[in-house]
Amino acid sequence: MSLYLFATFVSFLFNFFLIVPFIHFLYKAKFQRQNQQTKDAFNKPTPIFDKFHAHKMGTPVGGGILIVVTTTLLFGFFVLLYAVFNKPLHANYPSVIGEIKIIFFTFLGFALLGIYDDLTKILLWRKSLFFGLRMRHKFILEIILATIIAYWLYSDLKIDIIHIPFFGVFTLGWFYIPFASFVIVAFSNAVNITDGLDGLASGVLMIALTGFWVIARSIIDVPTSMFIGVWLGGLLAFLYFNIYPARIILGDTGALSFGAMFAVIGLILGKAFALPMIGGVFILEIVTSLVQLLSKKYLKRKMFTVAPFHLWLQLRGWEEPKVVMRLWLLSIIFSIFGLMIAFMK
């Protein structure tokens, strides 16, 4: 365990000393939130969102870029150290290389998609598009990436089962591929939706990842344990500058990548059933948004005054830090419950 904690500490220091120069670089590159009216999936203005977020215009976007780069490099470095010192990379699957490949591909693949979306929003490429990539285009690309990852989980790691406490283990066979793809896409978008308040997504993710870290250590999965340790160090340094009032915003690069990676970790650890519980705040956010979206499309009326959940709390008069900290607490409760479920037979 000391090695993983060392990796976390090194990652924290590495990111903490790089993030201020990186923020200055983003200012110089004008990689910031633009002073423009945002629009929803139906290309309609979002006055409630603009009301609560107008003061954030000009804040640098792209914190996820730094964390993705540093986490990837440091994880690769620590894996290389294992090889140099001939230490075994214990894993629960026949292909350790396959597990590492899936981790790298997920983290970097969804990050590249997020970078393009961030650039589209910030540089205002093709203004006919709604705030970034068109929803259907982004969704198609997410499905393609997720299907590749799900196929590798099935073919390389031989994962095709789901364990449901009290009911036993269920073999899905090849149907595991669309199931895993759905989970990855869902969480990628869930974290992206949650990333709407200063410190919300990054704080909730840290709490939920700590729960998965406990599981990874309990089953002695070295690659996943090491990756989570390095990733947590970067998130901790980022959160210091992301709490209210944020000096830097995660952006789609981080949100899409982190959400997909969170889901993949849950799948690699064999805790698909506990995944939506440990990530309960993310589920709450995406479900309220999805219900709102479907009700507007098919019922021609809003189910909620506003969505997602954190924006509804703001509309009720809660200050932004209050919303964030109480959702952090809720995330702790969800994680405890999810861990309880994960360790049930």
pLDDT score of 138 more than 50: yes
Q: What is the pLDDT of residues 58-91, one digit of tens each?
A: 889 989 999 999 999 999 999 999 888 878 788 8
Q: Is 30 left (phi over 0), alpha (psi -120 to 50) or beta?
A: left
- Residue range 33-53: mean pLDDT, rounded: 58
Alpha-carbon distances of 191 from 50, 63, 74, 198, 282, rounded to whole Å: 20, 14, 23, 13, 6
Say if CB 176 and CB 153 are below 8 A apart.
Answer: yes
pLDDT score of 45 more than 90: no
Q: Provide the residue count of the chain.
A: 345
The answer to whether position 226 is within a domain reads yes
User: So what's the pLDDT on residue 130?
Assistant: 42
pLDDT score of 135 more than 90: no
The answer to whether position 89 is within a domain reads yes
DSSP 20-64: HHHHHHHHHTT-B--S---B-TTS-B-HHHHHHHGGGTT-BB-HH
Extract the annotated binding site for Mg(2+).
192, 252
Q: Who's near 293: CB < 8 A, 6+ residues apart?
A: 41, 307
The answer to whether position 310 is within a domain reads no
Please give the distance of CA 25 from its chain centroid, rounded to a whole number.
24
Measured from the Cβ of residue 47, the count of other Cβ atoms closer than 10 Å reads 10
Say if CB 341 and CB 274 are below 8 A apart.
Answer: yes
Q: Which domain holds residue 174?
A: 2-273
User: So what's the pLDDT on residue 87?
Assistant: 80
* CB-based burial label for 143 (10 Å; 0-12, 13-18, 19+): middle
User: So what's the pLDDT on residue 38?
Assistant: 58
User: What CA–CA distance (Å, rounded) separates 215 from 225?
Assistant: 9
The answer to whether position 268 is within a domain reads yes
Q: Which of 1-10, 165-174, 184-193 shows the highest mean pLDDT?
A: 184-193
Q: How many domains does the chain have?
A: 1
The answer to whether position 87 is within a domain reads yes
User: So what's the pLDDT on residue 50?
Assistant: 63
In this structure, which amino acid lies at residue 318?
W
More confident residue, 298 or 36: 298
pLDDT score of 42 more than 50: no
Chain-wide mean pLDDT for the chain?
89
Nearest CA-CA partner of 145 in 202, 102, 92, 174: 102
- Residue range 139-161: mean pLDDT, rounded: 95
User: So what's the pLDDT on residue 91?
Assistant: 80
Give the side-chain half-sphere CA count within 13 A for 323. 25
User: So what's the pLDDT on residue 329?
Assistant: 98
For helices 200-218 and 251-268, give the axis angle rounded to 10 degrees: 20
Q: What is the pLDDT of residues 192-223, one digit of tens each?
A: 999 989 999 999 999 999 999 999 999 888 99
The answer to whether position 337 is within a domain reads no
User: So what's the pLDDT on residue 166?
Assistant: 83
Per 3-state DSSP, the chain is made up of helix, strand and coil in percentages (nearest 5) of 70, 5, 25
The answer to whether position 183 is within a domain reads yes
Extract the annotated binding site.
192, 252
Token pair listed for 45: 């203005």
User: What CA–CA distance (Å, rounded) separates 205 from 227?
Assistant: 14
The answer to whether position 315 is within a domain reads no
Token pair listed for 322: 């209050």
